[in-house]
């Protein structure tokens, strides 16, 4: 079938964590430029909920050409989006462990958030749809920290297939 890369069962993945900004060359010491505010970082994870803090963001949102919401350039410190575009927080820790500096990869970037994870996990079909949407939205960098418990062959790994399409 033309245009089909792979067909596989729709399996559940789980959220993972990552510390990859330095690896990607976005270390804290890199001189920042105004051009970074044009970078769009796509977050593929649990999405932004309807908490009061999330609802306060409504004045920071503009629409992409296709009608999807995109948070404007602002040092937002919501849980997952702060890993992409959050400002620097000194002496950050988790219950006193791992004390250090927490920061987003590109603090002045804009963010686009794609919800793929639900209370029971993150389904392959949702993951692939999020990659397709992010590509259509013009996202420059995708932050995705999820996967299965065992390595999969490329043609059965929704994250690998979605990332390859970039």
Domains and CATH numbers, the chain: 15-25+33-164 (3.40.50.200)
Q: What is the pLDDT of residue 73?
A: 37
Q: Please check the confidence at residue 102 and state whether its pLDDT lies above 60.
A: yes
Q: Name the residue among 29, 37, 122 with its Cα closest to residue 85.
A: 37
Q: What is the pLDDT of residue 81?
A: 59
Distance CA 145, CA 122 (A): 11
Main-chain dihedrals φ then ψ at residue 53, nearest 5 degrees:
-65, -40
pLDDT in tens, 108-143: 777 888 888 888 888 888 988 999 999 899 988 888
Distance CA 18, CA 3 (A): 32
Q: What is the pLDDT of residue 108?
A: 72
Distance CA 70, CA 50 (A): 16
- Residue 164 confidence class, pLDDT cut points 50, 70, 90: confident
Beta bridge partners of 18: none
pLDDT in tens, 28-86: 666 666 666 678 888 887 766 555 454 444 444 444 444 444 444 333 334 455 556 66
Q: What is the pLDDT of residue 43?
A: 83
Beta bridge partners of 43: 113, 143
Q: What is the pLDDT of residue 23?
A: 58
Q: Find the mean pLDDT for residues 89-117.
A: 75
**Identity of the highest mean pLDDT range in 9-13, 86-90, 101-105, 134-138:** 134-138
Q: Please check the confidence at residue 97 and state whether its pLDDT lies above 60.
A: yes
Q: Are 129 and 108 in contact (CB under 8 A)?
A: no
Q: What is the pLDDT of residue 46?
A: 74
Cα 99 to Cα 6, 22, 157, distances in angstroms: 43, 18, 34
Q: What is the pLDDT of residue 103?
A: 66
Q: What is the pLDDT of residue 67?
A: 44
To the nearest 10°, the Cα dihedral for 141, 111, 115, 100?
80
Distance CA 157, CA 36 (A): 31
Q: Name the residue among 39, 24, 1, 16 with its Cα closest to residue 140.
A: 39
């Amino acid at each position: 079938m033309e245009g089909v890369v792979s067909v596989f069962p729709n399996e559940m993945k789980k959220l993972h964590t990552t510390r990859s900004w330095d690896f990607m060359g976005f270390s804290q010491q890199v001189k920042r430029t105004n051009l970074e505010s044009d970078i769009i970082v796509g977050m593929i994870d649990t999405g932004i909920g309807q908490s009061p803090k999330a609802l306060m963001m409504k004045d920071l949102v503009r629409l992409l050409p296709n009608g999807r919401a995109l948070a404007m350039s602002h040092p937002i410190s919501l849980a997952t989006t702060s890993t992409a575009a959050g400002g620097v927080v000194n002496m950050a820790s988790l219950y006193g462990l791992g004390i250090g500096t927490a920061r987003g990869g590109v603090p002045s970037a804009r963010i686009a958030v794609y919800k793929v994870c639900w209370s029971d996990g993150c389904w392959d079909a949702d993951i692939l749809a999020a990659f397709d949407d992010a590509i259509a939205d013009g996202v420059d960098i995708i932050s995705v920290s999820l996967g299965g418990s065992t390595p999969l062959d490329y043609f059965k790994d929704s994250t690998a297939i979605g990332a390859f399409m970039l």
